[in-house]
Structure 1
């Protein structure tokens, strides 16, 4: 048994689709989510930069004591999965292989499509994932602007429909019968994608399959949290505007996402001079509050001096949300100081 949280990382709000699936399958487990919204989207960035940003974010999660890492970002999975598994002493679950496995099982004709960011498609991660499947042909298309629409909270409209028709035309021409949504932002666009592709095409999201993999890893490692304990506390960090993350993120996750704590990698914190930190450090990465946020200083980093782990700010509120029709209370940490909430 382990009371430690599951760490979930994405470049933005898209990974909350994976978090939602994990909460549905593992309602007794606490989550610690890190959305690197200040640098979203990852897709157009060079692979080396994606790797650096992703490892910085995961360093923060590991420093906070997570028992398992979920890379809920296709671009980051393609860029640094091997590095992450070598770097950390906790299991690492990713999103590419679960989605590819499901698509291979679902296709009737052997013609499978995948859409994703430029970096994901260029990496050929999905090509490698389905390479061993006999009689499967993969058609890959990058759809970079989809992420921008989702991050703005726009999931319908004439402009989006026209863009989807242009992006998806090669997949229609290839007559695919199964389409992998190769970005965790894309499930919020299933309405427009399904409209363009037609009802005969099966849309495969990695969220449910990744949650199943998470369940299996916890089971094999004996890492489940005791279900007799009180409801878990979920925490959310974002490097960009926490208010925007909260507003858009609730469409993915629902009421469990009460509010968000601003976070910042230590390299950028040093450049901006923001002094306040919360939580321990690892590999030079600190989770930070805005100046004047009232948090205690963090503890030592992996390579440096020792120190006790700083407590979370006393100004955090803890709220309880009743799931619609679920009957069980889900306690959610409101990851913001009173000052941040007022802003």
Structure 2
């Protein structure tokens, strides 16, 4: 049994069999859930998608911090043993505040992706696609250069990706999304990048589309880093280190909560997950 105590004196108790909380501004975090289910198949997950207030990436830092606090408090109601922030914007803007305020282990989406990119780049030229809020905090560039000061980092704000993905424009041949992807990639034509971090957990759903557009534009393949996958690997490592991995086999499950209507979530979520999303509940947040 783990006994977590907040500075306020509120006590949170958890153990190996408790669930892991995962939250995002909307559907994007489901890319992380998909990977988490593969990497940690016996764990129980509580997923909250703030679909009523998506997107976070164009909000002020103050608003993002408030929303993140709301999301975390909701998940804590389930006596979770750890939390995964499956949102690049929240990881950039609010992770430090959340880790100071809530004593349970919290994994963000930025550092794991940066470590992977720094390890895989061959020429040291890395690009980051992320939301305007994430780019505004410069968190990816700061983290990457902290890992290796010799890296060259090019950051591109991609405000149109989340609305397009949430609306279902995700097919690899979708002309609208390809047009937008090429527009963002064209900003990197002189950067000689060999590695691209998809710095928002929505973006891996169009990973193949981005890769295809990049090859058309640059004439070669580039390494693409999936922040959701890297976060899932980091979560497993953290749980192992803290002796929080469940010791029950075959008990894996996911409960889904959203802050807007569930019908559209269920339909689009099946695309993100590769399977139907069961147990979806609408809740009021904030």
TM-score (norm 2): 0.89
| Residue 242 (str. 1) matches residue 259 (str. 2) | no
Alignment partners' CA distance in 2, 1:224 and 1:201 = 34
Q: Deviations over 1:97-131 (max 9, x none)?
A: 01011111111111100011000001100111011
The answer for the alignment partner of 2:175 in structure 1 is: 158
Q: Deviations over 1:18-69 (max 9, x none)?
A: 1111110110000000000111111111010011011101100012111100
Alignment partners' CA distance in 2, 1:232 and 1:113 = 35
1:182 pairs with 194, 199, 204, which one?
199
CA contact (8 A) 2:17 2:248 kept: no
Report runs of 4+ in structure 1 exceeding 3 Å deviation: none
CA contact (8 A) 1:242 1:259 kept: no
Alignment partners' CA distance in 2, 1:256 and 1:32 = 16
Q: Deviations over 1:302-321 (max 9, x none)?
A: xxxxxxxxxxxxxxxxxxxx
The answer for the alignment partner of 1:220 in structure 2 is: 241
Alignment partners' CA distance in 2, 1:109 and 1:254 = 34
Structure (1 or 2) with the larger CA radius of gyration: 1
The answer for the alignment partner of 1:91 in structure 2 is: 105
The answer for the alignment partner of 2:16 in structure 1 is: 2
Deviation of 1:256 (Å): 5.8
The answer for the alignment partner of 2:223 in structure 1 is: 202
Question: What pairs with 1:76-115 in structure 2 (closer than 5 Å)?
Answer: 76-115=90-129
CA contact (8 A) 1:246 1:259 kept: no
Alignment partners' CA distance in 2, 1:154 and 1:70 = 26
Question: What pairs with 1:239-318 in structure 2 (closer than 5 Å)?
Answer: 239-255=259-275, 257-265=277-285, 267=286
**Unmatched runs of 5 consecutive residues or more in structure 2:** 1-14
TM-score (norm 1): 0.75
Task: Supply the RMSD in Å over aligned alpha carbons.
Answer: 1.3
The answer for the alignment partner of 1:309 in structure 2 is: none
| Residue 121 (str. 1) matches residue 135 (str. 2) | yes
Alignment partners' CA distance in 1, 2:252 and 2:124 = 42
Matched position secondary structure for 2:187: helix
The answer for the alignment partner of 2:48 in structure 1 is: 34
Deviation of 1:8 (Å): 0.3
The answer for the alignment partner of 1:139 in structure 2 is: 154
**Unmatched runs of 5 consecutive residues or more in structure 1:** 268-343
Aligned length: 265
The answer for the alignment partner of 1:60 in structure 2 is: 74
Alignment partners' CA distance in 2, 1:237 and 1:29 = 17
Q: Between the two structures, name the one with larger relative contact order (CA 8 Å, sep ≥ 6).
A: 2
Alignment partners' CA distance in 1, 2:272 and 2:180 = 22
